[in-house]
A and B are shown apart, each in its own frame.
Chain A
Amino acid sequence: MTGPQGQGRPGDDPEERDPGLARERTSLAWTRTAISFAALGGVVLKANVISGLIVLAVAPVVWQLGRVSRGRATRNDLPAVGATRLFIIALTIVAVSLLCFLVAIFGRSAPLSLR
């Protein structure tokens, strides 16, 4: 394995020299995740307006979380892993699932016996 700066033979693979592309792909993945939250918010909105607005409000927060600088990821003395924000994402999905579970049961088209 070559080091972070790719001391091996530069030039074969652009990423050997520059983790920038990996960083950019990761940043795009954060954007897609934020868009997924917005899409879910749109579906929830159809069933329950307030819950839908709550989920929609999560989308820009996720987007901003993805933009938080992780500092110099190559330095040893800084936490290179953004464990906290990934933990937050996992917890947010659990909370949103719970909300959706309730919306599914009690939402617009809901109570089992009324249909």
Chain B
Amino acid sequence: MSWSRRLATLLPRAVERDNGGTEPDPRFTFANERTFLAWSRTALALVVAGLGIVQLLPPFPGVPAGRHLLGLPLIALGAVLAVAAYVEWVRSQRALRRGDPLPNSVLPWILAATITGIAIIAGIVLLLSALR
């Protein structure tokens, strides 16, 4: 399947017209939706954290770009996480309709990589600031 074709299957209209398989138990549909919403809130939390770091923290002495180094990636990854959560929801809903096993989720991986990366940058910034 071509790239654009694959992208088109993610559009809401394509998802709602999907009539492969059978309508899943509504509880599963609800649970899938709640999972999407929980990831959306996680994405928003990343954005809040990023904005808070840049705008509300005092600057790191000696590392003028420190707050931006920490905050801007957090905000960008919030957007990435929101899109990934939607894609994940589509894939899960499709699997539920067809009775397939649920696809492996990349979202925990994205989140763990984000937190690890930010923690490493924070450590470096603090160290530079302390050694100034």
Residues of A within 8 A of B (CB): 1-4, 15, 19, 22-23, 25-26, 29-30, 32-33, 36-37, 39-40, 43-44, 46-47, 73-74, 76, 79-84, 86-87, 89-90, 93-94, 96-98, 100-101, 103-105, 107-110, 112-113, 115
Contacts and interface: CB of A to CB of B under 8 A. Distances in A.
B1 interface: no
21 contacts: A4-B25, A22-B31, A26-B34, A29-B33, A32-B37, A36-B40, A43-B52, A74-B23, A76-B23, A80-B29, A83-B90, A86-B12, A93-B43, A93-B79, A97-B43, A101-B75, A104-B51, A104-B68, A105-B54, A105-B72, A112-B64
A68 to B, nearest CB: 12
Most chain A Cβ neighbours within 10 Å, of B11, B22, B86? B86
Chain A facing B: main interface SS: helix
A115 B64 CA distance: 7
B30 interface: yes
Chain B facing A: main interface SS: helix
A98 B56 contact: no
Interface of B: 11-13, 15-17, 22-23, 25-27, 29-31, 33-34, 36-38, 40-41, 43-45, 47-48, 50-52, 54-56, 59, 64-65, 68, 71-72, 75-76, 78-79, 82-83, 85-86, 89-90, 93
